Amino acid sequence: AEEVGAYLKRHRIKVTGSDIPHPVKSFEMLCKEHNFQPFVLRNLQKLGFKQPTPVQMQAIPIAVHRRDLIANAPTGSGKTLAFLLSILHQVHTEERVGYRAVVVSPTRELATQIHDHLRNLTAGRKLKTCLMTKPNAAMQAQDPSMRQKFDILVTTPLRLVHAIQNSEVDLSHVRTLILDEADTLMEKGFLEQVDEILAACSSSNLQISLFSATMPSSIEQMANTIMKDPIRIIVGTQNA
């Protein structure tokens, strides 16, 4: 069998950090080795996803091991599926305690796409997902009893901070926080909102993952201050 180092190199995956979990070479391995639920594989097949992309190969096992992650991979490399599958390992049945995973994306358009993708992946499963963006905010705020019912939240930072400040959401059960397009989210303007979201995710067992196409070093330094012993992935042809 090919050595892990050679496998990573062939797929142009650079990974650094302590105790790095091995990459997964197929989606079947998610069930066989990492206890993913069969519905995940079924939906992947239905959607026509046959093989994991490089960022998915390495990011998913890191999430399974509950490690903080900074992942850089080019646009179009499948980062969305990488973090959605990471979430579905953790959150696969409804528990009615409130949100257990949150995806933060800088724009409503992106959040909507991510949520559509998530709906497809959870089809046929009793899991409640919520897309929280400005236009649909009023509808959700009406009914506080709805709050306990959702398992996974996809949102924009501004909308989520608004909900936190108005006590519309309880993020104390969140164990997985994804910051997508993290380079944008860690920039001035968004950073205060990210800080507020982090403060509201009060679980001591919070796992944080940052995904983006690029990560300027100043932003990476800042990112390191919010994470514990993160693993770093760079996919593709970035100059190190």
Per CB under 6 A, residues contacting ligand ADP are 49, 51-53, 56, 73, 75-81
Shortest Å, Cβ 238 to Mg ion:
16
Mapped onto helix, strand or coil, the DSSP state of residue 235 is strand
| Min dist. Cβ of residue 190 to Mg ion (A) | 16
Q: Give 146-205 as a DSSP string.
A: GGGG-SEEEE-HHHHHHHHHTT----TT--EEEEETHHHHTSTTTHHHHHHHHHH---TT
Assign residue 228 a region (left: φ > 0; alpha: ψ between -120 and 50; beta: otherwise): beta
Quick one: 76 or 135, whose CB is closer to ligand ADP?
Answer: 76
Q: Which does 122 bind (CB under 5 to 8 A by kind): Mg ion, ligand ADP, none?
A: none
What angle (nearest 5°) sits at the alpha carbon of residue 233, between those of residues 179 and 43?
65
Q: Give dist(CA 211, CA 234) in Å, integer.
A: 10
| Residues of this chain that bind Mg ion (CB under 5 A) | 79
Which of ligand ADP, Mg ion, none is residue 38 near (CB under 5 to 8 Å by kind)?
none
Nearer to ligand ADP, 190 or 211 (CB): 211
Interatomic CA distance for residues 35 and 10, integer angstroms: 26
Which amino acid would we find at residue 221? Q
> Among ligand ADP, Mg ion, none, what binds residue 76 when CB lies within 5 to 8 Å by partner kind?
ligand ADP
* Nearer to ligand ADP (CB atom), residue 8 or residue 44: 44
Q: Which does 53 bind (CB under 5 to 8 A by kind): Mg ion, ligand ADP, none?
A: ligand ADP
In the complex with ligand ADP, the residue whose CB is nearer, 67 or 79, is 79
